[in-house]
Amino acid sequence: MSEDLERLNRRVSAARAETEGRGETFYPGASRIHLAAFPPRERWDDWVELDSRAWPKRKEKRYMLVPTTCFNCESACGLLAYVDRETLQVRKFEGNPEHPGSRGRNCAKGPATLNQITDPDRILQPLKRAGERGEGKWLQVSWDDALDDIAGRIRKAIGDGRENEVMYHVGRPGEDGYTERVLAAWGVDGHNSHTNICSSGGRAGYQYWMGLDRPSPDHANARVIFLISSHLEAGHYFNPHAQRVIEAKQNGAKLIVVDVRLSNTATHADHWLAPHPGSEAAMLLAIARHLVETGSHNREFVRRWWNWQEFLVRERADLEPTFEDFERAFLELYKEFTFEYAEAESGIPSATLREIAGLVASAGTRFSSHNWRSAAAGNLGGWQVSRCLFLLNALLGAVAVEGGVYPNAWNKFVPRPIHVPPHPKKWNRLTWPEQYPLAMNEMSFLLPQLMEDARAHLDVYFTRVYNPVWTNPNGFAWIELLTDPEKIGLHVALTPTWNESAYFADYVLPMGHGSERHDIHSYETHDAQWVGFRQPVLRAARERLGEKVADTREVNPGQVWEENEFWVELSWRIDPDGSMGIRQYFESRREPGTKLTVDEYYSFIFENSVPGLPERAAAEGLTPLQYMRRSGAFEVARKLGPLHEQEVPEAELEDTQTDALGRVFTRAPRPAGPNVVPLPTPPPDADGRRPVGVDLEGGVKRGFPTPSGRLEFYSSTLAEWGWPEYAVPAYIRSHVHPKNLEPGQMVLIPTFRLPTQIHTRSANAKWLDEIAHTNPLWIHPSDATRLGGLKTGDLVRVETEIGYFVVKAWVTEGIRPGVVACSHHMGRWKLHDNGQRQLMATVSLEHQERSWQIKRKKGVGPYASSDPDTGRIWWTDAGVHQNLTFPVHPDPISGQHCWHQAVRVTRAGPGDAYGDVWADAGRGEEVYRRWLDLTRSALRVSPDGNRRPYWLLRPLKPGLDSYRLTDQEVAGVAPAKPRRRR
Ligand code: SF4
């Protein structure tokens, strides 16, 4: 036995003895969880269970347990596939105890992966459109034919200098960086995402504070937890966070939940606040003011780590540059934010807010908080909600300490892949238009409008696990876009299951579910860094039995492929002889001139880029790849602590210069390696120096990746890029603020998830469909009475700015009066009987000019298939699709679509039927123009001639040169491209 393994065993034995001494049991894997129910890893090759179906006979079933990762939400929890050794079929999925984030636990959607892979309606073959787009006629084609066709078009577009006509639009990425690498290799700035309909509002608030756009709350060790989201049922990093919130509660932590609905999370709260939607920042600023007024803030932390001096220099030159004067300035700045003012804005009594403020103050540095979608995704200015929430952490010093909130990069590990291509050279204005220079992510949901304005054409448009027709606001404008051959040359839908947008595609290519594909990922679930490995479990099982599998299609059902192999193959066909410079990034290093395999791709990463993994694998006599195929996850580090306090080593301090506010710049090259605090990414200045840290009382500390290196209470970026009034955390009145509502209007909250469904991929999960298959409108009894005595089940018509939908009422006290709510996880539809049949209603779709209507023809019902359970479907409902009736509401700063709607709710009329949806896409254009008027274009406000601050995060960042606004653009004469016909 090697020394390492002996040491590991000694540690495990000691930990086991300790926990068993307390009468607990202990799983020795990375989860360190006190559960005995997990099969020990050394028995995963041959695990025996009794066959429940054979009862009362005692019949043994033998399994190989193969780890993979759930693909059903962003949490990427570990799964263990139980592969029947006799049939080599997956029998069930359970949690993977080796996974440090999920620790052997899953929500209902994890085990339901089994439904997805055995769904009788799933897409099993590559399909090519045979009729008109949307007509529902398809031909089976070979992968070869599809690849050649798509590759030929991409090759021509790149060869013609039309790189920006190639776009990849992703919904659930479920991986870290693989596809960005592909696009960079092609030299295409074609990455588009769903983030601006999801989390850009949440992200922007964190970005301006920390230079990183996500928080990593250490819920498990907190004394007080403050959630502006529904973490215990569906929040970001749902299962990993939910279990840690509950752990903290068991240890006595207090839970504050802000939600206009009595969500499952709110039912677990010690304090549930249901304010007027959009008023959250006002409440938070009142609490912040109270902390400073009462001296409850962490003065030393604020003094050391805030950029308060920059604030004084820039905004209060009248004051002395002392910390005491800053505290005075802070109180002056927020003097109107009394508890009484916050009560007037939010409707929450001032006494309650005072009590909450006292509780927050009592947490000290053990204060964890999180705001992700929720208010940040619902309101104009919602990004200030997460900024004001983090203000409380920053005041308490609850940043990167036990029980506090870490910057996500402290708790996430992204290894360097084999072959790193350079940045694309051309900027794509269809995704990053100059009107939104500070947008956190691509202005994805505006693609129909931006393409119309630019008279643009996309020659190849990939949608990948993305369903814009159903998910985005003004989905009818998306149907118009996807059916217009002048705008979309070829739409390729990469999807594991049918969806509303795939019906309008030219190719539908079947991609694998979570147990049918490779990916790696790492998420900030707690104060640790880990890497998770998703893999095709039947491939791994066969390889354990000594078989060779060269291509995932050999083990997946039908012709289902995985994307990793698909992109390598497509890239080779784009550049078959390597003359375009693309192929080199998809070639083997072991055998030059041959294709890179997934084995080599991941072997390289695990052998070279994940510290500790090679040693750990060797201790078990495995290669790093074998180890990951056996364990599914690896914990790189635990308890990272306050990395911003790290001293910068001498080797990195070469010929330094320090500016007046303490930012230190170096000429030393950027070091490679793990656990290095990310730094902002401006290119070296004219003297060749880059920021490296902060001069803090004589030493150079790593600091934060912001322009100042400190936590930025004051954002010079916002001040210089046209928004000086929001340079500090502020309260922006929402578009659904009472003053902006017309008499009789209510606020619709359309953003909440159902815990047992996924946006667009779970309609083929029969267990989930049985649990959740409808989305009634939550309405308070007082409103129900006012609207003529509505009762649960009555039909109501909900009118938005551009249309209406007809839905059932659910009268409940679990919602704030004046507000209604409807989950966006329902209302799936199809135009033809074929396709998905378990949770998609069949509808008619008609339009006159831009006025569109959907009427339900048939609900869900039993049907015969290879799965006998489909004959037992007892539900008929599939919910109502509300997003079609929403206009786009792009926040002028974060770019987030502001989901909340001012609506009129009435009892349905005689002509109305359940599931009716009507909207005028043309009216949607008018609303878009109104919101566009709120923007401050880079053409007007850019302080440096760039279209965007270079330091702000951007997936697939193009080269610095492409950031420059061209003279033509500045002069406002950028030529519109002529449209072309296919
Ligand atoms: S929270 Fe549920 S759906 Fe999300 S990854 Fe974990 S098991 Fe899957």
Lowest mean pLDDT among 450-454, 546-550, 888-892, 965-969: 965-969
| pTM, entire model | 0.94
CA–CA dist 619, 789 (Å, integer): 70
Beta strands of 103-249 (E only): which ranges?
127-129, 138-140, 166-170, 191-192, 215-217, 224-228
The C-alpha atoms of residue 140 and residue 758 are separated, in whole angstroms, by 28
Please check whether residue 79 is in contact with residue 110, taking contact to mean a CB–CB distance below 8 angstroms.
yes
Find, among 492, 550, 576, 538, the residue nearest to 126 by Cα. Answer: 492
pLDDT of residue 617 exceeding 50, the answer is yes
Q: Say yes or no: CB of residue 371 within 6 Å of ligand 1.
A: no
The answer to whether residue 981 scores a pLDDT higher than 80 is no
Give dist(CA 227, CA 854) in Å, integer: 37
CB 392 within 8 A of CB 291: yes
Mean pLDDT, residues 722-745 taken together: 97
Q: CA–CA separation, 5 vs 9, rounded Å? A: 6
Q: Is residue 106 lining ligand 1, measured as CB closer than 6 Å?
A: yes
- Overall average pLDDT of the 974-980 stretch: 46
Neighbours of 819 (CB within 10 A): 22
In this predicted structure, what is the pLDDT of residue 718? Answer: 98
- Region 241-245: what's the mean pLDDT? 95
Residue 234 has pLDDT above 90, yes or no: no
**Is 433 touching ligand 1 by the criterion CB < 6 Å?**
no
Query: pLDDT value at position 265?
Result: 92
Element (H, E) at 571: helix 563-574
Q: How far is CA 864 from CA 136, 671, 840, 871, 980, in A?
A: 21, 61, 16, 5, 46
Q: How far apart, in whole angstroms, are the C-alpha atoms of residue 494 and residue 506?
A: 11
Cβ density class 199-229: b for 16+ within 10 Å, e for less: bbbbbbbbbbbbbbbbbbbbbbbbbbbbbbb
Determine if ligand 1 sits within 6 Å of the CB of residue 109: yes
Please say if the pLDDT value at position 624 is more than 90: yes
Atom of ligand 1 nearest to the CA of 111: 7
Give ∠ CA 244-247-250 in degrees, rounded to 5: 155
Nearest CA to ligand 1 atom 4: 73
Q: Does the C-beta of 238 come closer than 6 Å to ligand 1?
A: yes
Determine whether the shortest distance from the Cβ of 76 to ligand 1 is under 6 A: yes
Query: Has residue 634 got a pLDDT over 90?
Result: yes
pLDDT for 236 equals: 79
3-state secondary structure of 163: helix
- Of 31, 68, 69, 70, the one to substitute when testing ligand 1's pocket (max ligand atoms within 8 A of C-beta) is 70
The CA distance from 744 to 177, in Å, is 48
pLDDT averaged over the chain? Answer: 93
**pLDDT exceeds cutoff 90 at 608:** yes
107 lines ligand 1 (CB under 6 A): yes
Residue 19 reports pLDDT greater than 60: no
User: What is the residue-wise DSSP string for 694-721?
Assistant: EEETTEEE---SSSSSSB-SS-HHHHHT
Mean pLDDT confidence for 698-702: 91
pLDDT at 675 over 60: no
Residue 239: the pLDDT is 93
Residue 15: is its pLDDT beyond 80?
Answer: no
Q: Is the pLDDT of residue 211 over 50?
A: yes
pLDDT at 22 over 80: no
Confidence of residue 683 (pLDDT cuts 50, 70, 90): low
Our answer on whether the CB atom of 72 is closer than 6 Å to any ligand 1 atom is yes
Residue 255: helix, strand or coil by DSSP? strand
For ligand 1, whether the C-beta of 77 sits within 6 Å is: yes
Q: Residue 166 Cα, ligand 1 centroid: separation in angstroms?
A: 32
Ligand 1 atom closest to Cα of 95? 7
Nearest-CA residue for ligand 1 atom 6 is 77
- pLDDT over threshold 60, residue 498: yes
Specify the pLDDT at position 123.
96
Q: pLDDT at residue 10 above 70?
A: no
Q: Is 81 in the pocket of ligand 1 (CB under 6 A)?
A: no
User: For the residues 345-365, what does the mean pLDDT come to?
Assistant: 98
Residue 982 has pLDDT above 60, yes or no: no
Task: Specify the pLDDT at position 4.
Answer: 52
Minimal-distance CA residue to ligand 1 atom 2: 107
Ligand 1 atom with minimal separation from the 113 CA: 8
The rounded Å distance from CA 524 to ligand 1 centre is 14
- Which residue's CA is the nearest one to ligand 1's atom 1? 239
Query: Measured from the CB, is residue 737 less than 6 Å from ligand 1?
Result: no
SS3 state at 308: helix
Q: How far apart are the first and last CA of the chain?
A: 66
800-853: pLDDT as tens digits = 999 999 999 999 999 999 999 999 889 999 999 878 899 999 999 999 999 999
pLDDT at position 399, please?
A: 98
Q: How many CA atoms lie within 13 A of 396 on its CB side?
A: 33
- Render pLDDT for 398-431 as a digit per residue (tens, 0 to 9): 999 999 999 999 999 999 999 999 999 999 999 9
> 884-917 pLDDT, tens per residue?
999 999 999 999 999 999 999 999 999 999 999 9
Stretch 382-402: mean pLDDT, rounded? 98
Residues near 86 by beta carbon (within 8 Å), at least 6 away in sequence: 62
The reported pLDDT for the residue numbered 976 is: 46
CA of residue 873 to ligand 1 center, whole Å? 25
What pLDDT sits at residue 772?
A: 95
Tell me what pLDDT residue 759 has.
80
Model confidence pLDDT, tens digit, residues 159-209: 999 999 999 999 988 888 899 999 999 999 999 999 999 999 999 999 999
pLDDT band for 28, please (50, 70, 90 cuts). Answer: low
Confidence of residue 14 (pLDDT cuts 50, 70, 90): low
Is ligand 1 within 6 A of the CB of residue 110? yes
- The pLDDT, as a whole number, for residue 172 is 85
Per-residue confidence (pLDDT) for residue 825, from 0 to 100: 84
